[in-house]
Amino acid sequence: QQQVKQSPQSLIVQKGGIPIINCAYENTAFDYFPWYQQFPGKGPALLIAIRPDVSEKKEGRFTISFNKSAKQFSLHIMDSQPGDSATYFCAASKGAQKLVFGQGTRLTINP
């Protein structure tokens, strides 16, 4: 199966909170797991990515946690800010094959 399931569909968090977005995949051959961030009126942009040989990756306030046995990965945003309000997409691929995207999460950070 090629699906990637993302939850929740929408999320509202107060400034400074830690929103967590979860994704689950079925294909154990996937070896690349990126997260994309999309602002209104713009195309998605790569935020952070992880490969299955590590369990966690941090870039600034953004962290990916990866659980290979559970076939799940998640995005955490530390000290969230109103400027982080956007739609977030997880994705997965196997080697050079095409990306499979999750359904997206609309995140709102209230001041």
Partner 1 sequence: DAGITQSPRYKITETGRQVTLMCHQTWSHSYMFWYRQDLGHGLRLIYYSAAADITDKGEVPDGYVVSRSKTENFPLTLESATRSQTSVYFCASSLTGGNQPQHFGDGTRLSIL
Does 62 sit near partner 1 (CB under 8 A)?
Answer: no
Stretch that binds partner 1, among 42-50, 58-66, 69-77, 78-86 (CB under 8 A): 42-50
Smallest distance from partner 1 to CB 111, Å = 26
Q: Considering only CA atoms, which of 58, 55, 57, 1 is closest in space to residue 25?
A: 1
R_g (Cα) of the chain, nearest Å = 13
Which one among 27, 71, 101, 108 touches partner 1, defined by CB under 8 A? Answer: 101
Q: With CB under 8 A as the contact rule, which of the stretches 12-20, 62-70, 74-82, 100-108 interacts with partner 1?
A: 100-108
Work out whether 103 is an interface residue with partner 1 (CB under 8 A). Answer: yes
Phi and psi for 33 in degrees, rounded to 5?
Answer: -135, 95
Q: Which is nearer to partner 1, 32 or 62 (CB)?
A: 32
Quick check: 98 binds partner 1 (CB under 8 A)?
yes
Residue 36 CB neighbour total at 10 angstroms:
21
Q: Does residue 40 interact with partner 1 by CB under 8 A?
A: no
Measured CA to CA, the distance from residue 10 to residue 29 in angstroms comes to 29
Q: What are phi and psi of 46, to 5 degrees?
A: -60, 130
